[in-house]
Amino acid sequence: MKILISGSSGFLGAGLIPHLESAGHRIFRLVRRSDEKSDTEILWDPGRGIEDPERLEGLDALIHLSGENIAALRWTDEKKRKIRESRVKSTQVLAQTLLGLSRPPRLFLGASAIGFYGHRGEEILTEKSASGSGFLAEVCRDWEAASESLRTKGLRVVHLRFGMILGDGGPLAKMLPPFRLGLGGVLGDGRQYMSWITMEDLLGAVDHVIKNDSLDGPVNFVSPHPVTNAEFTKTLGRLLKRPTLFGMPAAVARLLFGEVADEMLLASVRAVPERLEKSGFVFRYPGLEGALKAILG
């Protein structure tokens, strides 16, 4: 297959591209700038458009991963604008471009997130669950809606609702230094659920979605066994053989991080991969301990 990918330089893109290439796919990249003319790079401005849209004619799939990093000590109004526009506007730009092609890709895979569900406590969340409240939930709703027009052109549109991705880099890389120093601990009361997936299972799930035409619309990219923050903290500390005594009360988290605390650090999202499992996908690392052991070596 000929597959076009945006966000190729990010944590996920950097893992996905060599994986797809090793499977025999030819990969093209949407890039903002390039020092050399490459037949596999296509220039674009995520807020405006693609420089040579005709180069998208005849591609088999487009995987849209680009977006402003949501990680920040605090969200300013400008940061929130960038988070939203980098996702929603860029998706609208791509959708408008694809609608204008005579031979558009048959498949559009658009990144989204389990932030779609908002803070939901102990409620088990499947792809049938309604969206929640809050900034991230609103962004995810609009992000997914921005590509729905592609269905009028006959494209299969899949919304990849990612949980926390565990691998060599990403969120885990930021957690490890304090945990290795014995400074790790629970956030708030530790009862908030964390839905996660290993990079290895995520890559396998992307393959599965590409090959399985029955998967359309939202798909939760999470392991079958979400854990509480307290469970995650205890497991990581035990594997590193370090104490986990330095917790952060919710009030302190809100004082330090503002809205980020309630939207990310303290939010409970107990999402499960109902559609992946019903369609026959088998996780290599369904449980957290096995996943962390594999990653930590």
The answer to whether 229 and 150 have CB atoms below 8 angstroms apart is no
The H-or-E segment that residue 294 falls in is helix 288-296
How much is the pLDDT for 223?
98
Going from the first residue of the chain to its last (297 residues), give the mean pLDDT of each consecutive group of 10, the final group possibly shorter: 95 95 96 80 93 95 96 93 97 97 97 98 98 98 98 97 96 96 97 98 98 97 98 98 96 96 97 98 98 96
How much is the pLDDT for 37?
67
Q: Is residue 21 part of a domain?
A: yes
Q: Is residue 258 part of a domain?
A: no
Q: Is residue 120 part of a domain?
A: yes
- Round to whole Å and give the CA distance between 131 and 145: 12
How much is the pLDDT for 38?
82
Which tokens belong to 41?
A: 């790079």
The letter for the amino acid at 199 is M
How much is the pLDDT for 71?
87
Q: Is residue 231 part of a domain?
A: no
For the chain, the domain total comes to 1
Q: 206 in the Ramachandran plot: left (φ > 0), alpha (ψ -120 to 50) or beta?
A: alpha
DSSP 263: I
How much is the pLDDT for 291?
98
Q: Which domain holds residue 56?
A: 2-169+195-223+270-281
Task: Spell out the residues 6+ positions from residue 2 whose beta carbon is closer than 8 angstroms to its own.
Answer: 25, 26, 28, 58, 59, 60, 61
- The pTM (predicted TM-score) of the whole model is 0.96
Q: Is residue 60 part of a domain?
A: yes
The H-or-E segment that residue 161 falls in is strand 156-162
The letter for the amino acid at 6 is S
Q: Is residue 69 part of a domain?
A: yes
User: CATH number for the domain including 130?
Assistant: 3.40.50.720
Partner residues linked to 227 by β-bridges: 194
How much is the pLDDT for 281?
98
- Round to whole Å and give the CA distance between 243 and 246: 9
